[in-house]
A = this chain, B = another copy of it.
Amino acid sequence: MRIVVDAFGGDNAPLEVLRGCAMAVSEYQDIEITLTGDEEKIRSCAAQNQIPLEKITVRHAPTVIPVEEEPSEIRRKYADCSMAVGLGLLASGEGDAFVSAGSTGALVMGASLFVKRIKGIKRAAIGTIMPTMQGLYLLLDGGANAECRPEMLLQFAIMGSAYMESVQGVKNPKVGLVNIGAEPNKGTDLQYEAYHLLQDAPINFTGNVEPRDIPAGVCDVVVADGFTGNVVLKLTEGVALSFAGEIKRMFYKNLKTKIAGLLMSSEVAAFKGKMDYAEHGGAPLMGIAKPVIKAHGSSNAKAFKNAIRQARDYAQNDVIHKIERSVAQIRQREKQSV
């Protein structure tokens, strides 16, 4: 299995990317890596930091698309960037999966353009892995499509369900639709119509999920338009950060609380571990015809290693064909009912 990795994506590139790749090839015997990016810089960074490049090849790409750049520039001004070259290798079959911590917009657009979408899929979505106290859930769309039609939400549900079943090994994953009430008639027209489509879909649809219940992990797959999904993702992070900061301040308040902090150190460490996105890898782009993982912009070496493992699991399992079959099945049924 060959994983293509964008060496120049994210805030800590290329050093943490290289470290993560070295960790991955040493830990997972079944993978080889192709790094894309400025070859000279990659080799000098590896040499300076004594990172072995065994089982890692480099494909030169002279530029990097900045996160603030218009995503569409990936096929014009930045057609030779590390991300575009990586997606090209994936498209041509020179790699089995692609990992990048670069611009999300450019990655979604580049993947849709160069690698193409799964047949019948209207729009690619970002599947964000969200940690909870009990485990994790997949939230999609995490923000690729601010405005959605009901059929898109149906496809997100099918794709998320396939991913959680095949890659995460969750049997018959519970799928919930983010809404402001449990009843089918709640929310806007989008939720109302999506609810009815989801009810008839070949998935384990458990109905509307109220945001109050999402963090408790009541669903394995949480479906929303990209605007709402992005709000859920960022607000979860914001409240968690605000709580974590306050708890830290509490423990540092005085001698008594500092002693309490020492007594609690292993519990606090375990708690941090649960909330650590780096443990879970990155966000699978769902709906692209080959596996693409968006790693977090602030990924460290461990996060890159886990994103590479996740890319391997995504490629090894039959997710994409499963999605293809489900979509074809729904289209067939629609045709028959017309």
Contact = CB atoms under 8 A, between A and B. Distances in A.
Interface residues of A, number: 50
Nearest to A254: B267
Contacts of A216: 238, 241-242
A243 B241 contact: no
Copies in the complex: 2
Interface stretch (A7-15, A48-56, A86-94, A258-266): A258-266
A118 interface: no
Interface stretch (A149-157, A198-206, A223-231): A223-231
Interface in A234-249: 234-243, 245-247
A263 B257 contact: yes
Contacts of A187: 146, 227
Contacts of A334: none
Interface of A: 132-133, 143, 146-147, 178, 180, 186-189, 210-216, 226-228, 230-232, 234-243, 245-247, 250-251, 253, 256-257, 259-261, 263-264, 267-268, 271
A247 to B, nearest CB: 7
A232 B180 CA distance: 10
Given A216-B241, A256-B264, A263-B263, 16 more contacts: A133-B242, A146-B180, A146-B186, A147-B189, A180-B226, A180-B227, A211-B235, A212-B237, A212-B241, A215-B242, A227-B228, A239-B239, A250-B268, A253-B267, A259-B263, A260-B260
